[in-house]
Amino acid sequence: MAEEIGGAFMTDGTIYKRLGVKPGDLIYFLNGHENFFRKVKAYMPEGVRIKRSLAPDEKADLIFVWPEAGGAWTDLFKVMMALMRPNGAVWVIIPRNEIAIAKGTKIFFGDVQNAALKAGLVDNKVSRVSEKEYGVRFVRRARQPIPTDQ
């Protein structure tokens, strides 16, 4: 399965534009597929830093996460909010519905969106990641208070 992650759509050099990456951004991969990580890294503009862990004082511009079925997603989103900059975003990578059903995976957009809303995030963009997965970008609500320590 790892070889299909990212697929051909990532080889055109525009992935960073679709994902909203800007030069100098700090991207945090909470978890995910190694092939996707390598491909994303290969097509980023200069100055973009991609990390698999953050120092206690670091905040990410973009966070990528592959949630696990049956997880405490609202709590996961609250953690992501604490790790992202005020104008940052979280990309949640989930299987397409027919793939989730075929695999017996219990990860569906409605459940993920509901958990994000409860945590204070809203979805504002969707982008294909592979033939089997897509990403949904979540950001803070416009009126969501931003913690003062950020």
| 3-state secondary structure labels for all residues of 84-132 | EEEEEEEEEEEECHHHHHHHCCCCCHHHHHHHHHHHCEEEEEEEECCCC
- Cβ-based neighbours of 127, under 8 Å, separated by 6 or more: 18, 19, 134, 135, 137
Residue type for 30, please? L
Distance separating alpha carbons of residues 88 and 47, to the nearest angstrom: 17
CATH architecture of 2-140: 3-Layer(aba) Sandwich (3.40)
Residue 99 reports pLDDT greater than 80: yes
Q: Is the model's pLDDT at 76 over the cut of 70?
A: yes
Rounded Cα–Cα distance for residues 11 and 29 (Å): 20
Locate the domains of the chain by residue range: 2-140
Region 46-57 average pLDDT: 90
141 vs 31 pLDDT, higher one? 141
pTM: 0.82
Distance of CA 81 to the CA centre of its chain: 12
